[in-house]
Chains A and B, each alone.
Chain A
């Protein structure tokens, strides 16, 4: 068990090198959610005046969206990095080592959870500086858990795409998956204000309860009623996408 943990840690540390050793490599991914949050609230801020909008202001309402977007970008980046490793032959090196496939997969995606905290930290600091209220420690802790879980789930998805197409050119497909997952929810407005088709999509989108969970504290209080669906949805995404990724990894070489 400890050997597997050492393998996961070694692979995760390697994945973090991109941030620590390539100047500026992480900047776009870290900045983008904050840019979106500031930009969107500057553009659509008046929408919060619509009857039925629960939040104090539009910016507070979409901060959670930005946090999840950061998680999605980070998860997609994991898949892009794996695709690059496949193109350069590094992935073959992993596949011929005797480490269990599950261990390799966990090592590849583990860094996504940690990296997702970078854009989240910047966004939260900027949001507070712009007047968004502190959501409270319980809400913040829950947010951290949900962000890390979503980043890992999207990383599993991106890994599946990378293993299927084996090229960095599939990057837009990886990014779009996370993009759609996060934004086809009650991202911009409460569900009651959404157009019919988007409301229907948001109802079945597993990221919707996660967004609701993250929104707690920023909008309204933290309640078990909104927390357990978020945790359950996160767990389901991790299990389903993780199993699919393990299965896909096992089929490498077929």
Chain B
């Protein structure tokens, strides 16, 4: 199972590398948002109650990462749906591989792409003047939470694709990414969100993931936000991987 999952993951990654025009939106749109948010609202750090940060960019990097990772999940979902539509999925099912590796392979590929996405935004942040207050340990924590969360979002995308069966339905989820982000503390401190966004944010796992990504950037590593971030990312990943596998079995039963 591990071997076939790795082989399928490698195939997905090769496909992505050969068609970078499909990867670009995963970082370009969040980069544009990052630029606009930072350029437009950089004075927000003066607001009473805003955490102490080196700059608004430092604060916003986690939001850009979270957004990009969510879009990565949507992209893997679209990729899965396209494989179903083209019949390649059926070809895999008919082959003698462990079927769960069909799902795991794509999720693994998503994890590798997630690593690239997080590194991209770390680089962008450093180029434009941000710094990682937590140093190398902080960077490693950011990468860990980012890759874990990205893996979970990929599993979510794959699960939706297996249930929806067509790419345009999965694509329709794109606006929902922003809805879920808006009711989290990804873009702004939870204490400064309007009601009821602040209340929803308390229960939104994206808040904890974003805060976990943010903490090592804006301050030295603090235990609580990091542990919460890791726990939220791990919980999201475990839940969505299980649901994706269940969706796969459900689909195979129907066939």
- A-side interface residues toward B, CB under 8 Å? 28, 31-32, 35-36, 38-47, 49-50, 169, 172, 176, 179-180, 183-184, 186-189, 193-195, 197-198
> Contacts of B36 on A, CB cut-off 8 Å?
183-184, 187-188, 198
A43 CA to B178 CA, complexed, in Å: 11
* Least Cβ–Cβ distance between A203 and chain B, in angstroms: 13
- B-side interface residues toward A, CB under 8 Å? 21, 24-25, 28-29, 32, 35-44, 46-47, 172, 174-175, 178-179, 181-183, 187-188, 192-194, 197
Give 30 A-B contacts (CB < 8 Å), ordered by A residue: A28-B174, A35-B179, A36-B178, A39-B183, A40-B182, A41-B194, A42-B182, A42-B183, A43-B187, A43-B188, A43-B194, A44-B187, A45-B194, A47-B44, A47-B47, A49-B47, A50-B44, A50-B47, A172-B24, A176-B28, A179-B29, A179-B32, A183-B32, A188-B36, A188-B40, A189-B40, A193-B40, A194-B39, A195-B38, A195-B42
* Least Cβ–Cβ distance between B36 and chain A, in angstroms: 5
Of the listed residues B32, B39, B194, the one surrounded by the most CB atoms of chain A closer than 10 A to its CB is: B39
Closest 5 CB pairs of A and B: A39-B182, A198-B39, A188-B40, A42-B197, A195-B39
> Contacts of A193 on B, CB cut-off 8 Å?
40, 43
* Least Cβ–Cβ distance between A138 and chain B, in angstroms: 28
Further pairs besides A43-B193, A46-B188, A49-B47: 15, Cβ < 8 Å:
A28-B174, A35-B175, A43-B197, A44-B41, A44-B187, A46-B47, A46-B193, A50-B43, A184-B36, A188-B36, A188-B40, A189-B41, A189-B43, A193-B43, A195-B40
> Contacts of B38 on A, CB cut-off 8 Å?
195
Task: Please name the residue on chain A nearest to B44 by beta carbon.
Answer: A47
> Contacts of B25 on A, CB cut-off 8 Å?
172
Given contacts A42-B193, A45-B194, A187-B36, contact A169 B21 (CB under 8 A): yes
> Contacts of B179 on A, CB cut-off 8 Å?
35, 39
A188 and B193 contacting across the interface, CB-CB below 8 Å: no
> Contacts of B47 on A, CB cut-off 8 Å?
46-47, 49-50
A41 CA to B179 CA, complexed, in Å: 12
A44 and B44 contacting across the interface, CB-CB below 8 Å: yes
